[in-house]
Amino acid sequence: GPDTYRSRQKLNEIIEHYKKVHKSGLNLKYFDDENLNFQDFKDEVRQTSMFAEKKLIILAEAFPNSEFKEKFLKGAKIFRDAEDVILFYETGQIPEKDSLFDFLIKQAKCQEFKPLEGQRLRNWIKKEFEKYQTGIENKALDKLIEFVGSNLWQMSNEIRKLVSYRAPRAARRRDKSLLNLRSAPPRSVAEGGKENEVLFDHKSKYKNIEISSGDIELLVKPKIETDIFKTIDALALKDKKQALGLVHKHLEKGDSPLYLLSMINFQFRNLLIVKDLIQKYRSPYIPSKVTNLHPYIIKKSYSLAQKFTIQELKKIYQKIFQVDLDIKTGRVEPEVALDLLIAEI
Protein backbone atom coordinates (compact mmCIF):
# COMPACT_ATOMS: atom_id res chain seq x y z
CA GLY A 1 0.00 0.00 0.00
CA PRO A 2 0.93 3.69 -0.18
CA ASP A 3 1.93 3.94 3.50
CA THR A 4 5.46 2.71 2.86
CA TYR A 5 6.66 3.66 6.34
CA ARG A 6 4.43 1.18 8.15
CA SER A 7 4.67 -1.44 5.40
CA ARG A 8 8.48 -1.24 5.59
CA GLN A 9 8.30 -1.61 9.35
CA LYS A 10 6.13 -4.71 8.93
CA LEU A 11 8.53 -6.16 6.36
CA ASN A 12 11.47 -5.60 8.72
CA GLU A 13 9.49 -7.18 11.55
CA ILE A 14 8.94 -10.32 9.44
CA ILE A 15 12.62 -10.43 8.44
CA GLU A 16 13.82 -10.02 12.03
CA HIS A 17 11.45 -12.75 13.24
CA TYR A 18 12.72 -15.07 10.51
CA LYS A 19 16.34 -14.38 11.47
CA LYS A 20 15.55 -15.07 15.10
CA VAL A 21 14.06 -18.49 14.27
CA HIS A 22 16.52 -19.39 11.51
CA LYS A 23 19.89 -18.35 12.88
CA SER A 24 21.94 -19.01 9.74
CA GLY A 25 20.15 -16.33 7.71
CA LEU A 26 21.40 -18.05 4.55
CA ASN A 27 17.91 -18.86 3.31
CA LEU A 28 16.65 -15.29 3.33
CA LYS A 29 16.45 -14.26 -0.34
CA TYR A 30 15.51 -10.82 -1.66
CA PHE A 31 14.53 -10.00 -5.25
CA ASP A 32 13.61 -6.44 -6.23
CA ASP A 33 12.70 -4.72 -9.49
CA GLU A 34 16.39 -4.36 -10.34
CA ASN A 35 17.26 -8.07 -10.13
CA LEU A 36 13.85 -9.73 -10.48
CA ASN A 37 14.40 -12.63 -12.86
CA PHE A 38 11.78 -15.37 -12.96
CA GLN A 39 14.22 -18.20 -13.67
CA ASP A 40 16.43 -17.18 -10.73
CA PHE A 41 13.37 -17.08 -8.49
CA LYS A 42 12.13 -20.47 -9.72
CA ASP A 43 15.57 -22.04 -9.21
CA GLU A 44 15.64 -20.65 -5.69
CA VAL A 45 12.28 -22.23 -4.85
CA ARG A 46 13.32 -25.59 -6.30
CA GLN A 47 16.71 -25.66 -4.62
CA THR A 48 16.69 -27.65 -1.38
CA SER A 49 18.16 -25.92 1.65
CA MET A 50 21.18 -27.65 3.21
CA PHE A 51 19.94 -26.52 6.61
CA ALA A 52 16.53 -28.19 6.25
CA GLU A 53 14.75 -24.95 7.05
CA LYS A 54 12.12 -22.87 5.32
CA LYS A 55 13.29 -20.11 3.04
CA LEU A 56 11.92 -16.60 3.18
CA ILE A 57 11.83 -15.30 -0.39
CA ILE A 58 10.89 -11.63 -0.75
CA LEU A 59 9.68 -10.31 -4.11
CA ALA A 60 9.67 -6.52 -4.05
CA GLU A 61 7.83 -4.54 -6.73
CA ALA A 62 7.04 -7.62 -8.83
CA PHE A 63 3.63 -6.44 -10.07
CA PRO A 64 4.92 -4.01 -12.72
CA ASN A 65 6.88 -6.89 -14.29
CA SER A 66 4.30 -8.40 -16.68
CA GLU A 67 6.67 -11.16 -17.85
CA PHE A 68 7.33 -12.28 -14.28
CA LYS A 69 3.61 -12.27 -13.45
CA GLU A 70 2.71 -14.34 -16.49
CA LYS A 71 5.35 -16.99 -15.76
CA PHE A 72 4.53 -17.04 -12.06
CA LEU A 73 0.86 -17.75 -12.74
CA LYS A 74 1.76 -20.53 -15.19
CA GLY A 75 3.75 -22.27 -12.46
CA ALA A 76 1.43 -21.20 -9.66
CA LYS A 77 0.83 -24.74 -8.37
CA ILE A 78 4.56 -25.27 -7.76
CA PHE A 79 4.84 -22.08 -5.71
CA ARG A 80 1.56 -22.64 -3.89
CA ASP A 81 2.64 -26.11 -2.76
CA ALA A 82 6.16 -25.05 -1.80
CA GLU A 83 6.98 -25.11 1.90
CA ASP A 84 8.96 -21.90 1.60
CA VAL A 85 7.48 -18.52 2.51
CA ILE A 86 7.07 -16.29 -0.55
CA LEU A 87 6.36 -12.67 0.32
CA PHE A 88 5.26 -10.01 -2.20
CA TYR A 89 6.06 -6.45 -1.14
CA GLU A 90 4.42 -3.71 -3.22
CA THR A 91 4.42 0.04 -2.76
CA GLY A 92 2.78 0.92 -6.08
CA GLN A 93 -0.88 1.05 -6.98
CA ILE A 94 -2.29 -2.36 -7.93
CA PRO A 95 -5.18 -2.31 -10.44
CA GLU A 96 -8.49 -3.72 -9.18
CA LYS A 97 -8.50 -6.34 -11.92
CA ASP A 98 -5.04 -7.89 -11.78
CA SER A 99 -4.64 -11.63 -12.40
CA LEU A 100 -1.75 -12.07 -9.97
CA PHE A 101 -3.50 -10.10 -7.24
CA ASP A 102 -6.70 -12.13 -7.76
CA PHE A 103 -4.68 -15.33 -7.36
CA LEU A 104 -2.80 -14.17 -4.27
CA ILE A 105 -5.85 -12.79 -2.48
CA LYS A 106 -7.41 -16.27 -2.65
CA GLN A 107 -4.28 -18.22 -1.74
CA ALA A 108 -2.36 -16.05 0.70
CA LYS A 109 -2.62 -13.65 3.60
CA CYS A 110 -2.70 -10.01 2.58
CA GLN A 111 -2.13 -6.86 4.63
CA GLU A 112 -2.74 -3.42 3.15
CA PHE A 113 -1.26 -0.22 4.54
CA LYS A 114 -3.40 2.77 3.65
CA PRO A 115 -2.42 6.29 4.76
CA LEU A 116 -3.49 6.99 8.33
CA GLU A 117 -6.16 9.63 8.75
CA GLY A 118 -8.17 11.27 11.52
CA GLN A 119 -7.98 9.71 14.97
CA ARG A 120 -5.77 6.82 13.80
CA LEU A 121 -3.13 9.30 12.63
CA ARG A 122 -3.40 11.26 15.89
CA ASN A 123 -2.99 8.08 17.95
CA TRP A 124 0.03 6.99 15.91
CA ILE A 125 1.77 10.34 16.44
CA LYS A 126 1.08 10.29 20.18
CA LYS A 127 2.53 6.80 20.49
CA GLU A 128 5.65 7.84 18.60
CA PHE A 129 6.17 10.73 21.01
CA GLU A 130 5.57 8.42 23.97
CA LYS A 131 8.48 6.25 22.83
CA TYR A 132 10.65 9.25 23.71
CA GLN A 133 8.78 9.87 26.98
CA THR A 134 7.44 13.03 25.41
CA GLY A 135 3.90 14.38 25.17
CA ILE A 136 2.31 16.84 22.76
CA GLU A 137 -0.42 19.43 23.31
CA ASN A 138 -3.64 18.90 21.35
CA LYS A 139 -3.25 22.23 19.53
CA ALA A 140 0.34 21.36 18.69
CA LEU A 141 -0.79 17.97 17.40
CA ASP A 142 -3.37 19.63 15.14
CA LYS A 143 -0.73 22.01 13.79
CA LEU A 144 1.78 19.20 13.23
CA ILE A 145 -0.78 17.25 11.19
CA GLU A 146 -1.70 20.40 9.26
CA PHE A 147 1.96 21.03 8.42
CA VAL A 148 3.03 17.47 7.60
CA GLY A 149 -0.08 15.47 6.72
CA SER A 150 -0.01 11.66 6.64
CA ASN A 151 3.51 11.18 5.26
CA LEU A 152 4.90 9.07 8.11
CA TRP A 153 8.47 9.20 6.81
CA GLN A 154 8.48 12.97 7.16
CA MET A 155 6.39 12.80 10.34
CA SER A 156 8.90 10.48 12.03
CA ASN A 157 11.73 12.84 11.07
CA GLU A 158 9.83 15.85 12.42
CA ILE A 159 9.09 13.99 15.67
CA ARG A 160 12.78 13.20 16.12
CA LYS A 161 13.64 16.83 15.40
CA LEU A 162 11.11 18.10 17.96
CA VAL A 163 12.25 15.64 20.62
CA SER A 164 15.90 16.49 19.95
CA TYR A 165 15.02 20.13 20.57
CA ARG A 166 13.01 19.48 23.73
CA ALA A 167 14.72 16.36 25.08
CA PRO A 168 18.11 15.81 23.44
CA ARG A 169 19.22 13.09 25.83
CA ALA A 170 16.15 10.92 25.17
CA ALA A 171 16.49 11.49 21.42
CA ARG A 172 20.10 10.36 21.31
CA ARG A 173 19.28 7.09 23.09
CA ARG A 174 16.41 6.27 20.77
CA ASP A 175 17.82 7.49 17.42
CA LYS A 176 20.10 4.48 16.99
CA SER A 177 17.12 2.20 16.43
CA LEU A 178 15.04 4.63 14.39
CA LEU A 179 17.68 5.83 11.96
CA ASN A 180 17.77 2.41 10.31
CA LEU A 181 14.49 0.54 10.01
CA ARG A 182 16.44 -2.60 9.18
CA SER A 183 17.94 -2.81 12.68
CA ALA A 184 16.65 -5.33 15.19
CA PRO A 185 13.80 -4.28 17.51
CA PRO A 186 14.80 -3.10 21.01
CA ARG A 187 15.35 -5.88 23.49
CA SER A 188 13.25 -6.21 26.57
CA VAL A 189 14.84 -5.90 30.01
CA ALA A 190 14.53 -9.67 30.40
CA GLU A 191 16.65 -10.12 27.27
CA GLY A 192 19.36 -7.88 28.64
CA GLY A 193 18.19 -4.65 27.07
CA LYS A 194 18.81 -2.53 30.17
CA GLU A 195 19.63 0.48 28.06
CA ASN A 196 15.98 0.53 26.95
CA GLU A 197 14.40 -0.02 30.35
CA VAL A 198 13.32 3.57 30.96
CA LEU A 199 12.98 4.67 27.36
CA PHE A 200 10.50 1.95 26.40
CA ASP A 201 8.40 1.98 29.55
CA HIS A 202 5.08 2.82 27.86
CA LYS A 203 3.28 2.80 31.22
CA SER A 204 5.12 5.94 32.28
CA LYS A 205 3.28 9.26 32.33
CA TYR A 206 4.86 11.86 30.11
CA LYS A 207 4.43 14.97 32.19
CA ASN A 208 7.92 16.45 32.15
CA ILE A 209 8.29 17.07 28.41
CA GLU A 210 5.49 18.33 26.16
CA ILE A 211 5.66 19.71 22.64
CA SER A 212 3.86 23.04 22.17
CA SER A 213 2.41 24.85 19.17
CA GLY A 214 5.34 27.25 19.39
CA ASP A 215 7.75 24.34 18.95
CA ILE A 216 5.90 23.26 15.80
CA GLU A 217 5.93 26.75 14.30
CA LEU A 218 9.61 27.17 15.15
CA LEU A 219 10.91 23.84 13.84
CA VAL A 220 8.45 22.36 11.33
CA LYS A 221 8.15 23.87 7.86
CA PRO A 222 4.78 23.08 6.27
CA LYS A 223 5.01 21.11 3.06
CA ILE A 224 3.46 23.31 0.42
CA GLU A 225 3.42 20.42 -2.07
CA THR A 226 0.65 18.71 -0.12
CA ASP A 227 -1.74 21.64 -0.52
CA ILE A 228 -0.71 22.12 -4.15
CA PHE A 229 -1.91 18.58 -4.86
CA LYS A 230 -5.14 19.45 -3.03
CA THR A 231 -5.45 22.64 -5.09
CA ILE A 232 -5.05 20.74 -8.36
CA ASP A 233 -7.50 18.10 -7.16
CA ALA A 234 -10.02 20.86 -6.43
CA LEU A 235 -9.47 22.29 -9.92
CA ALA A 236 -10.04 18.85 -11.43
CA LEU A 237 -13.37 18.66 -9.58
CA LYS A 238 -14.24 22.18 -10.85
CA ASP A 239 -14.26 23.40 -7.23
CA LYS A 240 -12.61 26.77 -7.85
CA LYS A 241 -13.77 28.11 -4.48
CA GLN A 242 -11.74 25.50 -2.61
CA ALA A 243 -8.76 25.96 -4.93
CA LEU A 244 -8.77 29.73 -4.35
CA GLY A 245 -9.14 29.16 -0.60
CA LEU A 246 -6.09 26.90 -0.51
CA VAL A 247 -3.98 29.36 -2.51
CA HIS A 248 -5.04 32.32 -0.34
CA LYS A 249 -4.22 30.29 2.76
CA HIS A 250 -0.61 30.12 1.57
CA LEU A 251 -0.56 33.81 0.68
CA GLU A 252 -1.84 34.71 4.17
CA LYS A 253 1.00 32.67 5.67
CA GLY A 254 3.46 34.76 3.70
CA ASP A 255 4.32 32.28 0.94
CA SER A 256 5.54 33.96 -2.23
CA PRO A 257 2.94 34.04 -5.06
CA LEU A 258 5.77 33.40 -7.54
CA TYR A 259 6.77 30.29 -5.60
CA LEU A 260 3.15 29.13 -5.54
CA LEU A 261 2.93 29.63 -9.29
CA SER A 262 6.17 27.70 -9.80
CA MET A 263 4.79 24.79 -7.74
CA ILE A 264 1.53 24.78 -9.72
CA ASN A 265 3.57 24.89 -12.91
CA PHE A 266 5.77 22.01 -11.69
CA GLN A 267 2.81 19.81 -10.77
CA PHE A 268 0.89 20.41 -14.01
CA ARG A 269 4.07 19.71 -15.96
CA ASN A 270 4.32 16.37 -14.11
CA LEU A 271 0.66 15.63 -14.85
CA LEU A 272 1.25 16.29 -18.54
CA ILE A 273 4.28 13.96 -18.57
CA VAL A 274 2.46 11.19 -16.69
CA LYS A 275 -0.71 11.54 -18.78
CA ASP A 276 1.32 11.23 -21.98
CA LEU A 277 3.10 8.11 -20.67
CA ILE A 278 -0.17 6.54 -19.52
CA GLN A 279 -1.44 6.78 -23.08
CA LYS A 280 1.81 5.39 -24.48
CA TYR A 281 2.23 2.51 -22.04
CA ARG A 282 -1.51 1.92 -21.57
CA SER A 283 -0.62 0.65 -18.12
CA PRO A 284 -0.87 1.97 -14.55
CA TYR A 285 2.80 1.12 -14.10
CA ILE A 286 5.08 3.92 -15.24
CA PRO A 287 8.80 3.33 -14.67
CA SER A 288 10.42 6.12 -12.67
CA LYS A 289 13.50 5.77 -14.89
CA VAL A 290 11.44 6.92 -17.88
CA THR A 291 10.17 10.08 -16.19
CA ASN A 292 13.10 10.89 -13.87
CA LEU A 293 10.40 11.63 -11.29
CA HIS A 294 10.32 10.30 -7.74
CA PRO A 295 7.96 7.27 -7.38
CA TYR A 296 5.89 9.24 -4.85
CA ILE A 297 5.32 12.02 -7.40
CA ILE A 298 4.36 9.43 -10.04
CA LYS A 299 1.80 7.85 -7.70
CA LYS A 300 0.20 11.19 -6.81
CA SER A 301 0.27 12.42 -10.40
CA TYR A 302 -1.19 9.19 -11.77
CA SER A 303 -4.49 9.51 -9.91
CA LEU A 304 -4.80 13.24 -10.68
CA ALA A 305 -3.94 12.76 -14.36
CA GLN A 306 -7.02 10.56 -14.76
CA LYS A 307 -9.20 13.59 -14.04
CA PHE A 308 -7.92 15.63 -17.00
CA THR A 309 -7.75 15.01 -20.74
CA ILE A 310 -4.41 15.52 -22.46
CA GLN A 311 -5.91 18.52 -24.30
CA GLU A 312 -7.03 20.12 -21.01
CA LEU A 313 -3.58 19.69 -19.50
CA LYS A 314 -1.90 21.26 -22.53
CA LYS A 315 -4.24 24.28 -22.40
CA ILE A 316 -3.66 24.72 -18.66
CA TYR A 317 0.10 24.49 -19.12
CA GLN A 318 -0.09 27.20 -21.82
CA LYS A 319 -2.15 29.44 -19.48
CA ILE A 320 0.44 29.01 -16.71
CA PHE A 321 3.18 30.03 -19.15
CA GLN A 322 1.20 33.13 -20.17
CA VAL A 323 0.50 34.12 -16.55
CA ASP A 324 4.18 33.72 -15.68
CA LEU A 325 5.10 35.95 -18.63
CA ASP A 326 2.51 38.58 -17.62
CA ILE A 327 3.93 38.72 -14.09
CA LYS A 328 7.54 38.99 -15.23
CA THR A 329 6.72 41.77 -17.71
CA GLY A 330 4.77 43.70 -15.05
CA ARG A 331 1.42 43.46 -16.84
CA VAL A 332 -0.32 42.10 -13.74
CA GLU A 333 0.31 41.76 -10.00
CA PRO A 334 1.32 38.22 -8.91
CA GLU A 335 -1.60 37.74 -6.46
CA VAL A 336 -4.12 38.89 -9.08
CA ALA A 337 -2.50 36.66 -11.68
CA LEU A 338 -2.94 33.59 -9.45
CA ASP A 339 -6.64 34.38 -8.96
CA LEU A 340 -7.14 34.85 -12.71
CA LEU A 341 -5.31 31.61 -13.49
CA ILE A 342 -7.52 29.56 -11.17
CA ALA A 343 -10.66 31.30 -12.43
CA GLU A 344 -9.77 30.45 -16.04
CA ILE A 345 -8.85 26.80 -15.50
Which residue among 193, 219, 245 closes a domain?
Answer: 219
Percent of the chain with pLDDT over 70: 80
Whether 113 is in a domain gets the answer: no
* Residues 86 and 159 reside in one and the same domain: no
Whether the CB-CB separation of 241 and 235 falls below 8 Å is answered with: no
Q: What is the CATH number of the domain that holds 40?
A: 3.40.50
Whether 112 is in a domain gets the answer: no
Which residue among 219, 242, 276 closes a domain?
Answer: 219
Which residue among 77, 107, 137 closes a domain?
Answer: 107
Which of 50-59, 100-109, 326-335 has the least mean pLDDT?
50-59
Containing domain of residue 285, as a range? 224-344
* Residues 261 and 179 reside in one and the same domain: no
How many independent structural domains does the chain possess?
Answer: 3
What tens digit of pLDDT does each residue of 155-167 get?
A: 998 999 899 888 6
* Residues 153 and 77 reside in one and the same domain: no
Q: Which residue has the higher pLDDT, 280 or 111?
A: 111
* Residues 247 and 316 reside in one and the same domain: yes
Q: Where are the alpha helices (DSSP H) in the chain?
A: 4-21, 38-46, 66-74, 76-81, 99-107, 118-130, 138-148, 152-166, 168-178, 213-219, 224-236, 240-252, 257-281, 288-291, 295-305, 310-328, 334-344
In the predicted model, what is the mean pLDDT of residues 212-240? Answer: 79
Whether the CB-CB separation of 125 and 155 falls below 8 Å is answered with: yes
Q: Would you call 237 exposed, middle or buried from its count of C-beta atoms within 10 A (0-12, 13-18, 19+)?
A: exposed
What DSSP string runs through 272-287? Answer: HHHHHHHHHH-SS---
pLDDT at 170 exceeding the cut of 50: no
Q: What is the pTM of this model?
A: 0.56
* Residues 86 and 12 reside in one and the same domain: yes
State residue 169's pLDDT score: 44
Whether 230 is in a domain gets the answer: yes
* Residues 176 and 98 reside in one and the same domain: no
